[in-house]
Amino acid sequence: MAAPKLNLTINGTDVELVFGVRFVHELNKAFGIERDGFNIGMGFTLILPPLLQYDPDALAKVIYCAAYKNSPRPTMGQIYDSLDELEDLEQTFDEVMDCLKVSSATKRTLATLTVKEQAEEQKSN
């Protein structure tokens, strides 16, 4: 199965977002953990909790990393401006999450973190 894709209009341009292995690589480059000068990754794992909480900054960063195929790639400023113009930001969150749930590169991590979050929530109740 090919990596899931989503099209968004950013700065008046149709932008294709791709949620595959390269997307995870882009997250690792931008947000991964550095140890002894080496990036050990974990970018998706770190961005996922705020994304699950509907953090718009996390959504913008995910969109930026998923837009790696576009030339020129939209800037973070253009992404923020486009998100500000949306009437239903929650719909965009849901569309991105739907892609992450079926991507072979992210679905396992998403499922694992979601289960852990639910277990911790039940403990606190």
pLDDT in tens, 56-75: 999 999 999 999 999 999 99
Residue 40 CB coordination number (10 Å)? 10
Higher pLDDT, 84 or 33: 84
The answer to whether the pTM exceeds 0.75 is yes
The predicted pLDDT at position 119 comes to 61
H or E element at residue 119: helix 107-124
pLDDT classification of 118: cutoffs 50, 70, 90:
low
**Cβ neighbour number for residue 6 with a 10 Å cutoff:** 16
The string of pLDDT tens digits covering residues 4-44 is 999 999 999 999 999 999 999 999 999 888 888 887 888 89
